[in-house]
Structure formats: C-alpha cells, structure tokens
C-alpha cells in the first residue's frame, strides 16, 4: 500500500466519524453528548454519554503535522473535560515525529489492541453462500440498523440513533440482510471518488453462521466497483490469542489484503 493509500484509509475513517456528528440532530447531539473537534490535524470524536471507543476515538495524529506534547495533552484533556475515561488515540505507522511513542507514554497512555487496515483492488467480488436477502436501506429500516450495530459494538441503546443522519448523505450507503422481512445484519460503504471505505459490519446473534457478512461484503464490493471505485479499504481488530476473528476472516475471504496495523493508545 502506497503512502497515499495509507493516509486515505485514515482520512476515510475520519470522514465516517465526522459524518456521524454532523448528521446528528440537536436532540441526539445533546442526549448523547456529541463533540467533534480538530486538534492539530487530529479528528477528535467524543460521545460523552456512551462508553464505546467506537466513537470515542481520535484519528490522524502526527499525519497532517507532527504531534507534540502539547497536542497530545490537548486531545487527552478534551476527553477528560467530558468525563470520558476510555478512548482510543489512533497512531498510524507513519505518524511523526520519530519517537512519538515516548510522547504518548509521557501523556499517560499505553498501547492497546490495534486495528488492521485492509485494501483490495477492483477485481470482482466472490460469491457468498447465504440464504439471507441483501438490500440497500433508507429511513424505513435505519432504526433496526442502529439497534443491531449498537448491540454488536457494545454501545448503549440510545447510540443506535447515531446512524439516522447517515441515510441519504452523499457518498454513504447503508445495507442490511433480511430473513424474510426480519432484519439480520448491517454494513455500510462510503464512496469518495475512486476510494470506498467499508464499515458498520454487524450481525444479530440470532442470525450468525448464515453468511450475512459475506453477503453484505459481496453486495458492497459490487456497488463500489459499479460506482468506479478502484481502491476499497476497511479495518478490523488485529488478531489476538483467543479471539476467533470472524470479521478478519470474512474480510480476507472478500479479497481484502492486510496492509498495516494502526496502533490504538488508551489511558493507563
């Protein structure tokens, strides 16, 4: 993966975070304690009333400009200000300056499980084996989408409403699998020029082992290619002992190749 694509992966991840904030209604923003900031080139997402680091995370440190002790402290202070005890501060392999790890340790942070970034080219999607139906959705199913995703990612039920503002947003496409008319799984893709970013993959526990995620990957790849995308990007947690890593295996099945681990630093 070129430096351009490495940075594109972080940029599109940040875009997904920003869209959740800018698409939220005032009522949802107040209820969940949403705050979005950019600190020295780092996108800082805060959802104060939800404990999940899915949204309490910062992306882009040291890429747009070198990180400093001051910038790292300001990011940490933003989370402390809103009483967020656990957050992820993402650190790309090319984050500057050299020795950034010492700056992070000095700020009271430690490394946690990183996220593997993947990329695939414009080759056709493999055919998934599933008895579930895949459909791109709109407002009529967005609450079910949010419910399934919030449960899968350890978010509060209130946080399910965060996806509502993504419906109809330029470049954003939400998909679900169904068993008849019953919602089973979720997935989304963001299309930006010739790049596509895959996220929001989740399955209702009652429908696991029925090929939901592979069916959603197949459909999203097909649609991204039809839209002219030549570089498809996504991520999931890096492999660790004792974790079956179903998402990791599904992503590789779909033709994505591991590229690099983006470290996540958390408060000690």
Cβ 58 vs Cβ 87: under 8 Å: yes
Indicate the helix (H) or strand (E) that contains 113: strand 109-120
User: What would the pLDDT profile of 216-230 be if each residue is shown by its tens digit?
Assistant: 999 999 999 999 999
Task: Decide if 125 is inside a domain.
Answer: no
Residue 65 has pLDDT above 70, yes or no: yes
Task: Decide if 209 is inside a domain.
Answer: yes
Backbone phi, psi, residue 163, to 5°: -80, -15
Region 33-37: mean pLDDT is 98
Indicate if 44 and 138 belong to the same structural domain: no
Q: Which domain holds residue 181?
A: 133-262
Indicate if 60 and 95 belong to the same structural domain: yes
Count: domains in the chain: 2
Q: Which of 205, 215, 146, 144 is nearest to 177 (CA)?
A: 215
Task: Decide if 128 is inside a domain.
Answer: no
Indicate if 209 and 239 belong to the same structural domain: yes
**95 burial level (CB within 10 Å; 0-12, 13-18, 19+):** buried
Residue 268 has pLDDT above 70, yes or no: yes
Return the percentage of the chain with pLDDT > 70, whole number: 97
The residues, ordered by sequence, that sit 6+ positions from 157 with a Cβ below 8 Å of its Cβ are 147, 150
Cross-strand pairs, 237: 115
Indicate if 80 and 12 belong to the same structural domain: yes
């Amino acid at each position: 993966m070129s430096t351009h694509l490495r940075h594109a992966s972080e940029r599109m991840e940040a875009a997904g975070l920003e869209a959740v904030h800018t698409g939220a209604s005032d009522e949802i923003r107040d209820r969940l304690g949403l705050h979005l900031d950019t600190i020295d080139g780092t996108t800082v997402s805060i959802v104060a009333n939800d404990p999940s680091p899915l949204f309490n995370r910062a992306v882009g440190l040291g890429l747009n400009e070198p990180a400093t002790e001051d910038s790292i402290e300001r990011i940490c202070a933003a989370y402390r200000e809103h009483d967020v005890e656990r957050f992820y501060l993402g650190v790309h392999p090319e984050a500057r300056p050299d020795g950034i790890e010492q700056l992070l340790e000095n700020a009271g942070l430690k490394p946690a499980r990183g996220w593997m970034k993947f990329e695939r080219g414009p080759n056709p999607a493999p055919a998934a084996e599933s008895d579930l139906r895949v459909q791109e959705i709109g407002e009529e199913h967005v609450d079910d989408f949010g419910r399934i995703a919030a449960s899968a990612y350890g978010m509060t039920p209130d946080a399910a409403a965060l996806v509502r503002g993504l419906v109809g947003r330029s470049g954003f496409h939400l998909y679900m699998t169904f068993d008849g008319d019953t919602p089973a799984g979720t997935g989304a893709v963001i299309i930006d020029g010739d790049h596509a970013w895959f996220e929001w993959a989740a399955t209702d526990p009652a429908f696991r082992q029925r090929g939901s995620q592979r069916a959603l990957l197949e459909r999203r790849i097909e649609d991204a290619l039809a839209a002219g995308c030549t570089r498809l990007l996504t991520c999931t947690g890096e492999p660790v002992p004792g974790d079956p890593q179903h998402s990791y295996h599904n992503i590789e099945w779909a033709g994505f190749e591991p590229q690099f681990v983006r470290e996540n630093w958390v408060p000690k």
